[in-house]
Amino acid sequence: MPSDDLVVLRDVRKVYRMGDVEVQALHVRELTIRRGEFVAVLGPSGSGKTTLLNLVGGIDAPTSGQILFDGEDISGFSDRQLTLFRRENVGFVFQFFNLIPTLTAEENVRFAVDLASRDGVPPDRDPKALLAKVGLADRVSHFPKQLSGGEQQRVAVARALAKNPKLILGDEPTGNLDFRTGKLVLSALRDVNRDEGAAVVLVTHNMPLAAIADRVLHIRDGEIASVEINERPVAPEDVTW
Ligand SMILES: Nc1ncnc2c1ncn2[C@@H]1O[C@H](COP(=O)(O)OP(=O)(O)OP(=O)(O)O)[C@@H](O)[C@H]1O
Ligand SMILES: [Mg+2]
């Protein structure tokens, strides 16, 4: 039986070297992200949030320590191994939506589905159905410039789902959106998290939005300073300032 633990970090450090100067960007003694869990990450600028996401999602390798993903030790992976690992397992939603401007919403998602199937994920994902899941059934033929910011970001969520990922990472996916629009995007993320069982790790500067998570990690100076458990996560629609 697969364990409940999706990602386990043990004594993980990330040190950046700039000439003679070393910056310890992150030190995580112990962190477990469970399957299907929704985790928010809060902390000041420069505290190590993106560094944490990059390690958890295999964008970057740790300087030392152990990272287990689905029981497999990815901490010693080469760049090439990490690329393959990411393609199969991790969906990303960034601050800037990064859709392909010359493709419609449906084609943007289809492109991701095709890429995923090339990497061995069964191509059982229908782009239209994925767009319907994020509330965009009536926008499939729109090009990115014909969509609002929030709609573009929901296309990005549908695109992240193309490979049926075990984990979705969001680095400030609502950073460029107004509060109400941001809530729609988070609503879509929460829905896919609940319906598809993909774990979500969401970096946000927006304190009230963290109330939608199962767990909130507070990062300070490269360390997890505290962890809050939300017994009753708030529905994104109900979050207020
Ligand atoms: N490639 C790099 N080379 C050197 N130092 C880096 C690099 N990336 C990040 N850092 C440093 O590591 C620390 C953590 O950076 P990180 O990007 O994780 O912060 P963050 O919490 O995501 O901040 P923000 O909220 O501004 O995005 C910072 O002090 C940053 O200057
Ligand atoms: Mg960052």
23 Cβ inside 6 Å of ligand 1 = yes
Q: Which atom of ligand 1 is nearest to the CA of 172?
A: 27
Whole-number pLDDT of residue 145: 95
Residue of minimum CA distance from atom 30 in ligand 1: 46
Which two tokens mark 27? 């030190």
Asked whether residue 230 is assigned to any structural domain, the reply reads: yes
Cα Rg for the chain, rounded, in angstroms? Answer: 17
Position 164 confidence tier, pLDDT thresholds 50, 70, 90: confident
84's CB contacts (< 8 A; 6+ apart) are: 119
CATH number of 231's domain: 3.40.50.300
- Is 123 a residue whose pLDDT tops 60? no
CA triple 47-152-187, angle to 5 deg: 65
List, as one string, the DSSP characters of 30-42. EEEEETT-EEEEE
Asked whether residue 188 is assigned to any structural domain, the reply reads: yes
First to last CA, the chain: 42
Residue of minimum CA distance from atom 12 in ligand 1: 25
Asked whether residue 7 is assigned to any structural domain, the reply reads: no
Asked whether residue 223 is assigned to any structural domain, the reply reads: yes
Of 67-76, 116-125, 137-146, 180-189, the one with minimum mean pLDDT is 116-125
Position 158 confidence tier, pLDDT thresholds 50, 70, 90: very high
18 Cβ inside 6 Å of ligand 1 = yes
Residue of minimum CA distance from atom 31 in ligand 1: 46
| Phi, psi angles (nearest 5°) of residue 201 | -120, 120
Whole-number pLDDT of residue 91: 92
The tally of domains found in the chain comes to 1
Residue of minimum CA distance from atom 24 in ligand 1: 45
d(CA 219, CA 212): 18
Check: CB of residue 80 under 8 Å from CB of residue 87.
no
Q: Which atom of ligand 1 is nearest to the CA of 18?
A: 4
Strand duo 5-18 + 21-34: pairing: antiparallel
Position 81 confidence tier, pLDDT thresholds 50, 70, 90: very high
Check: CB of residue 89 under 8 Å from CB of residue 160.
no
Instruction: Give mean pLDDT, residues 133-158.
Output: 93
Position 1 confidence tier, pLDDT thresholds 50, 70, 90: low
Q: What is the best residue among 12, 26, 28, 50 to mutate for testing ligand 1's pocket, by most ligand atoms within 8 Å of CB?
A: 50
What rounded mean pLDDT belongs to the chain?
Answer: 91
Asked whether residue 175 is assigned to any structural domain, the reply reads: yes
Position 122 confidence tier, pLDDT thresholds 50, 70, 90: low
Q: Which residue type, as a one-letter code, is found at position 208?
A: P
- The residues pairing with 170 across neighbouring beta strands, listed in sequence order, are 93, 202
More confident residue, 233 or 2: 233
Q: In percent, how much of the chain has pLDDT > 70?
A: 96
Whole-number pLDDT of residue 32: 97
Asked whether residue 6 is assigned to any structural domain, the reply reads: no
Asked whether residue 159 is assigned to any structural domain, the reply reads: yes
d(CA 191, CA 131): 12
Whole-number pLDDT of residue 179: 85
CA 162 / ligand 2 centre spacing (Å): 25
Q: Give the domain extent around 216.
A: 35-62+71-238
Whole-number pLDDT of residue 152: 93
> Is 238 exposed, middle or buried, given 0-12, 13-18 or 19+ CB atoms closer than 10 A?
exposed
Whole-number pLDDT of residue 125: 84
Instruction: Give mean pLDDT, residues 177-195.
Output: 87
Asked whether residue 17 is assigned to any structural domain, the reply reads: no
CA 59 / ligand 1 centre spacing (Å): 14
